[in-house]
Amino acid sequence: MEYIYSALLLHSAGKEINDESVANVIKAAGLEPDQARIKALTASLSGVNIEEAIASAAMMAAPAPQAAAPAEKKEDKKKEEKKEEAVSEEEAAAGLGALFG
């Protein structure tokens, strides 16, 4: 992740994203840069419009689910209670039928 962050940092600063600049950012963060990862990153970013990639990623993010209104929750609870009452009445009737047979 630090390699991607370094590329984003360089992009936001308006600097060129190349092997040397990414390595310098990684070093500045106190890490040891891996040249193979840096080369892979810079090669994969060549020809990519980072602004468009960020914008399209923001559009793809799914909206958070909205909480149900309190009135809806109360109605759901009432429905569940009615179902439980109906089931318990049916069970009671079945139990009485077994007794009187």
Half-sphere exposure for 16 (CA within 13 Å, toward CB): 3
Contacts of 35 (CB under 8 A, 6+ apart): 19, 23
Residues 15 and 42 occupy one common structural domain: yes
Query: Span 88-93, mean pLDDT?
Result: 61
Based on the domain organization, do 53 and 14 belong to the same domain?
yes
Are 38 and 24 within one domain?
yes
Where in the sequence is the domain holding 7, given as residue range(s)?
2-60
* pLDDT tens by residue, 56-78: 887 776 566 666 556 566 667 66
Spatial distance between the Cα atoms of 34 and 1, rounded to a whole number of angstroms? 13
Residue 26 has pLDDT above 90, yes or no: yes
SS3 category, 61: coil
Work out the percent of the chain whose per-residue pLDDT is above 70. Answer: 59
pLDDT at 84 over 70: no
Q: Do residues 38 and 17 both lie within one domain?
A: yes
Instruction: Kindly indicate the confidence band of residue 23, based on its pLDDT and cuts at 50, 70 and 90.
Output: very high
Residues 69, 90 within the same domain: yes
Domain tally, the chain: 2
Per-residue pLDDT, averaged over 30-50, amounts to: 93
Average pLDDT (13-32) is 95
**Residue 10 pLDDT:** 94
Is the pLDDT confidence value at 24 over 70?
yes
Same domain, 70 and 98: yes
69 and 44 both lie in a single domain: no
Write down the H helix ranges in the chain: 2-12, 19-28, 35-45, 50-60, 70-100
